[in-house]
Amino acid sequence: MIELIESYYAYWMCFLLLTVGLYGMLFKENLLKKVIGLSIFQASIILFFIIVAFKDGSTVPIYDASFSERGPLGYINPLPHALMLTAIVVGVATVGVALALLLRIHKAFGTIDESTLWKDLRK
């Protein structure tokens, strides 16, 4: 058990972050905190991809004669990084749209607190 935690500690931290984000999105009353939770949630998934790509003792995938004798093992996998660049852009756009919607909600109801909002909506 200890070994399982020790050898995969980066993954455990990543899953912990995922849970924190999910908790914020689902249980926070303040809508802005939900957006923050959403950001954390997305960041944890981005980190997950980065951890997957990592290899012990390897370097950035730029060809260098001093690393070339190790072959592909000398370099980390660049594809997840490239994917996550796109995912970061998607995440930024999502947060942008969420904040725009929050502005509209605040304009219409004067609050961004979920429980107060529901009282207004039930009327």
Partner 1 sequence: MIGEHLPIIVILTYCLAALLMPVAGLLHRKAPSILALIAGGGALVFSLMTLWKTLTEGAFSYSVGAWPPPVGIELIADPLSAFFLVVITLISTLVLFHAHFSDGAESGQQSISYYACVMLMLGGFSGIIGTADLFNLFVFLELSALAGYGLLGTGSGRAAHSAFRYLILGTVGASFYLFGLGFLYAETGSLNMGDLALILDATGMQTTARIAFVFIIIGISLKMALLPLHQWLPDVYTDAPAMSTALVAPIGTKVAVYALIRLMYDVFPSGPGDWAFPVHSILAFAGAAGIIWGSVMAIPQTNLKRMLAYSSVAQIGYIALGIGLATPFGYIGAVLHVFNHAIMKACLFLFSARLEKTGLGIRIDKLTPATRLRLPVSTACFVLAAISMIGLPPTAGFFSKWYLILGSYESGNWFYVVIILASSLLNAVYFFRIIERVYLGDTDEGSPKPVRVRLTRRNLALVTLALSILVAGLFNVWIVKSLIEPMVPAF
Q: Which residues bind partner 1 (CB under 8 A)?
A: 18, 22, 25, 31, 34, 38, 41-42, 45, 48-49, 52, 79-80, 83, 86-87, 90, 93-94, 97-98, 101-102, 104-105, 107-109, 117, 121
Q: Note whether 20 and 36 are within 8 A (CB).
A: no
Q: Which of 47, 69 has the CB closer to partner 1?
A: 47
For helices 9-27 and 31-53, give the axis angle rounded to 10 degrees: 160
Beta carbon nearer to partner 1, 65 or 72: 72
Which residue lies nearer to partner 1 by CB, 56 or 69?
A: 56
In the complex, what is the shortest distance from the CB of residue 12 to partner 1, in angstroms, rounded to a whole number? 15
> Is the Cβ of residue 74 or residue 113 nearer to partner 1 in the bound state?
113
| Shortest Cβ 116–partner 1 spacing (Å) | 12
Distance CA 32, CA 112 (A): 7
> How would you write 44-83 as a 3-class SS string?
HHHHHHHHHHCCCCCECCCCCCCCHHHHHHHECCHHHHHH
Q: How far is the CB of 5 from partner 1 (least distance, A)?
A: 18
Cβ 20 to partner 1 shortest distance, Å:
14
Q: Whose CA is closest to 58, among 44, 45, 68, 46?
A: 68
Amino acid occupying residue 40: I
